[in-house]
Amino acid sequence: MKVILEGEERVVNTVIRENRVRVSRGLVSFSPADSPKTPKGVSDEDVEKMGDAIESMMDSLAEKDAQIAKLQEENAALKAALEEKAPADAPEDTDTKGEGDNGDSKEVPEEDAKDAPEGDSKEVPEEDAKGKKRSKK
């Protein structure tokens, strides 16, 4: 098992001294870490490249944040202009239950009355009764 021991230099040295018997027997070994943040197999060049990439991403994000803030301000200004303009353009009466723009009305003209004409009867005409079948709807 590999462990990285971190702490104040005085405390770390005390731990090493207390375990020197185990070190002499070969049970434990202490070796200094090159850089506690850099894992083995990663070169300093790789770390530098990653740092440069992170910096460029941070710059890009800062630019995007500035664009977002600008667009939010523009959006707020447009909303305010729309709210100022909307009440002046709104129609006075918006209740269109009875009549709409298409000429609909609740009132029915007299020619559309449901009264059946006098000549209408429920009798089947002779032609239909003899051979023609009528479909039921």
Q: Higher confidence at residue 126 or residue 18?
A: 18
Tell me which of 15 and 101 has the higher pLDDT: 15
Please check whether residue 5 is in contact with residue 12, taking contact to mean a CB–CB distance below 8 angstroms.
Answer: yes
The string of pLDDT tens digits covering residues 54-109 is: 999 999 999 999 999 999 999 999 999 988 887 655 556 555 555 555 666 677 77
| Average pLDDT of the residues in 42-64 | 89
Quick one: pLDDT band at residue 37, thresholds 50, 70, 90? low
pTM over 0.75: no
Show Cβ contacts of residue 134 under 8 Å, excluding neighbours closer than 6 positions.
128
User: What confidence tens digit (pLDDT) does each residue in 106-134 have?
Assistant: 777 777 666 666 666 666 666 655 555 55
CA 106 to CA 21: how far, in whole Å? 104
Q: How much is the pLDDT for 19?
A: 86
Q: What is the DSSP letter of 118?
A: T
pLDDT of amino acid 66 = 94
Q: DSSP letters along 37-80, please? A: TS-TT--HHHHHHHHHHHHHHHHHHHHHHHHHHHHHHHHHHHHH
The yes-or-no verdict on residue 23 having pLDDT over 70 is yes
Q: How far is residue 38's CA from residue 18's CA, in Å, rounded to a whole number? A: 28
